Amino acid sequence: MSPSSILAGLGLALLATAASGADLLIENVTIVSPERSQPVPNQFVLIRNERIAQITPRPITAAGVQRVDGKGQFLTPGLTDSHVHVSDAVGLPPGAATPELKALADAFHVQQPRSYLYFGVTQVIDLANLPAGLAAFDAQPRHPDLFHCGATMPLDGYPSVFVDKPQRYALMPDYIYEPANAAKHPLPAGVDAAAHTPEAIVDRIAVSGARCVKVFIENGFGDQSDWPVLSRQSLQRLRAAATRRGLLLIAHANALDMQRIALDANVDVIAHGLWNWGPASNKPGVPAEIAAHLNRIHKSGTGYQPTLRVLAGTADLFRADTLEDPTYKKVVPAALLDWYGTEPGQWFRKVMKQNSGNLPDPKIASLELQVGERGMRAVRYLHGLGHPLLLGSDTPSAPTYGNQPGYDTYREMRLLAAAGLPPLDVFRAATINNVRQFRLDKDYGAVATGKIANLLLLDANPLESVHAWSRIDKIILRGRVLERESLAAR
Ligand SMILES: [Zn+2]
């Protein structure tokens, strides 16, 4: 018996709210939304034309709607992962060109949006991509809503440094030319310098439909520091141009000196946690210079993505049991999962092992986690200041099969919890903090009338434990109900 007929039987039909032309009605559900401090039980949520049309404690009578009984379940907004890279097929070598590798990449790209949805991620922000990768993601029948940044870097700077010339300039065309670096990094033949000023690059990124500009501030990994970085003046021009075009400025920076440059340039978001502490690396706790920097992040209101899975995801490459994880079967196509375990599938592990001087696997894993542990201490400190953190998994941050779409978003949430965030603050990082920071709060981030109906039905209360995010029952994507298991890899 439906609730409306119960009411009619009791002669209370007048209390029921009339509705017509509705698409979906979720009944008897407990709403958990980040702008509310408490769950709201026994709610009725009507979805029409892909948006939340009505929320009421009284049953709604509506003809021709799909009904979902939410009794005993929790309705939350879908999660936003604000740091992903959707064009990279996880774990495959760049430019994978053989028919076998191409088939594996295709299988990955079919499963990728489903894996995000499987873990409740209904919005993703790609922080550095090319139009072809975005289009391929959007071409899949079911996918999270996709937003993106355009990426820029100094000529020959990170990450373009990993691509041989001249493909480098074709693959990453939005570089900025620094005349001061001309001796070491001359403009490629036939290129017009006027097309590679900060203003020209921001104009190009703006017309691509991006909502942000990501700039890489990275002079090298580890002890290396010979990659070019933009001058203070170029960064100021980039900041001014982004503001003029209404774009956010996002900085890749994970070392203390690089993050200081980012703050000097007044960026809106730092896209990585602070884990390279330079001379302070071996000090216990949060050393004074690290604390001073984190205080400055908080005072300036700069967005901060801890991206703790970057280190954990490379460590996973050196663990014997990573590919035995039963969740991998849910998010990785079977053929690709098999391939990861083969000799060629171990290519990136071998590259990293060689770079380490052939240290034993457990040693490499523990060194990665040691760096990550500094990132955890920085998160704990920032959270203690009351700084609103942003959920960004940086999937994949490297060609490691330790990073997997959706699963890493969930594992990033678990790491935030392990760093000391209570479940409510992890939830806020994944919803309201992200959508406010990226100016998506008009449409996303809460269970509220008028928002796009990207929602989740959970079997456990996410305010009690972060593990509730592995107990998703249904994903509602623009009003369409998807059973979680229908999204699993097969
Ligand atoms: Zn990234």
Cα–Cα distance for residue pair 297/385, rounded to 1 Å: 10
pLDDT above 90: residue 111: yes
User: Residue 264 phi/psi, 5° resolution?
Assistant: -60, -30
257 token code pair = 């000196």
For residue 12, the model assigns a pLDDT of 41
For residue 364, the model assigns a pLDDT of 97
Q: Give residue 22's pLDDT band: very low, low, confident or very high (50, 70, 90).
A: low
Q: Give counts: helices (H), strands (E), the chain.
A: 16, 18
Residue among 433, 438, 390, 445 at smallest CA distance from 412: 390
pLDDT above 60: residue 11: no
Task: Give the three-class secondary structure for 417.
Answer: helix
Report CA(428)–ligand 1 centroid distance (Å).
Answer: 21
Report CA(214)–ligand 1 centroid distance (Å).
Answer: 10
Query: Mind listing the pLDDT tens digit for each residue in 165-213?
Result: 888 998 889 999 998 889 999 999 999 999 999 999 999 999 999 999 9
For residue 225, the model assigns a pLDDT of 83
Across the chain, what does the average pLDDT equal?
93
Report CA(286)–ligand 1 centroid distance (Å).
Answer: 25
64 token code pair = 């021709």
Report CA(83)–ligand 1 centroid distance (Å).
Answer: 6
Contact 108, 333 (CB under 8 A): yes
Report CA(252)–ligand 1 centroid distance (Å).
Answer: 8
For residue 180, the model assigns a pLDDT of 87
Residues with CB under 5 Å of ion ligand 1 are 394
Average of per-residue pLDDT across 407-432: 98
Ranking 16-25, 138-147, 343-352 by mean pLDDT, the lowest is 16-25
Locate the DSSP E strands across 267-338: 269-270, 303-304
Cα–Cα distance for residue pair 169/478, rounded to 1 Å: 38
Our CA angle for 85, 88, 90, nearest 5°, is 105
Report CA(85)–ligand 1 centroid distance (Å).
Answer: 7
Cα–Cα distance for residue pair 384/393, rounded to 1 Å: 21
Report CA(84)–ligand 1 centroid distance (Å).
Answer: 6
Query: Mind listing the pLDDT tens digit for each residue in 239-265?
Result: 999 999 999 999 999 999 999 999 999
Report CA(221)–ligand 1 centroid distance (Å).
Answer: 15
Task: Give the three-class secondary structure for 338.
Answer: helix
For residue 390, the model assigns a pLDDT of 98
Report CA(355)–ligand 1 centroid distance (Å).
Answer: 21
Query: Mind listing the pLDDT tens digit for each residue in 356-389?
Result: 999 999 999 999 999 999 999 999 999 999 999 9
| List of residues 6+ apart from 281 with CB closer than 8 A | 374
